[in-house]
Structure 1
């Protein structure tokens, strides 16, 4: 169930999405509250699951994972066992940042990172292509990143 967010909650969420390391005093100043009510609101947002966790966003190129690829995957079937086998295997692969069950042409869409094309090819041959139930894959290579954000429009 979603929590009813007011204007102050939305300001808090926008500020924390921009900088999750904001100290409560600064956050309170930015959203127009005193520190105690601000902290109480943040705790309520955390407890309600609106704020799931805090993370550090890394620069992929600085950690030798500068290549992003999108992989469309077709399975041999869409039965529960085949789908579960695939999703269980993908969850164990740290190179797969996102995995989406799709409606439409392919069964799954993955966002994968790698150091370079050779590294990706090895990953594909050694791991992705060997997952039981994978019938075929098509890799899409983006030429330019236009927009990437983790900020939701609240």
Structure 2
């Protein structure tokens, strides 16, 4: 949470509405949370200015654009120097199919989430990945059989 800005119950209610549907007007959000349009808009602007609301985006249904397959890729590496990390970061950034990349604690060094058409599409990306990044000791793919929950909305901390 931001050290600069205290987030109150009303801010959380506004953020919940924006996370549900960011295309709503300040008036519509205000009606739902019990504020008039101007105070609601000012709160949204304050949250944006503080960087708490990082951006507003449209969420595209992956299946409707031919990217119904989620793949989680566990990567183990042999190098841990800054030069390697820069190469890795650039390679990951150049692959649009990589939706998320996390540096992990434990046995896995990095975990990627990809959206692809099918197994063949993943293999094409895998070939590009291993060609661009030296020092990979293990790359293991796990294909999602069913997406049981997916949300971009953050929960309110207790």
Find the aligned partners of 2:136 and 2:94 in 1 and give their Cα distance: 16
Alignment coverage as a number of residue pairs? 153
Find out whether 1:128 has 2:129 as its counterpart: yes
Secondary structure of the 2:28 match is: helix
Under a length normalisation based on structure 1, what TM-score does the superposition of the two structures give? 0.95
Runs of 4+ in 1 over 4 A off after TM superposition: none
Q: Which deviates more from structure 2 when the two are superposed, residues 25-34 or residues 134-143?
A: 134-143
Under a length normalisation based on structure 2, what TM-score does the superposition of the two structures give? 0.92
Find out whether 1:146 has 2:144 as its counterpart: no
Q: Is the 8 A contact 1:67 1:113 kept in 2?
A: yes
Unaligned ranges ≥5, structure 2: none
Unaligned ranges ≥5, structure 1: none
* CA deviation after TM superposition for structure 1 residue 136, in Å: 2.1
Aligned to 1:55: 57
Deviations 1:21-78 (A, max 9, x none): 0011101111101111111100000000010001111111111111100001112211
Aligned to 1:87: 89
Secondary structure of the 2:113 match is: strand
* CA deviation after TM superposition for structure 1 residue 102, in Å: 0.7
Deviations 1:85-119 (A, max 9, x none): 11121011100000001111111000011101111
Q: Is the 8 A contact 1:75 1:82 kept in 2?
A: no
Task: Give 2:41's match in structure 1, choosing from 39, 42, 55.
Answer: 39
Task: Give 1:25's match in structure 2, choosing from 14, 24, 27.
Answer: 27
Secondary structure of the 1:28 match is: helix
Find the aligned partners of 2:90 and 2:6 in 1 and give their Cα distance: 34
Find the aligned partners of 1:142 and 1:102 in 2 and give their Cα distance: 20
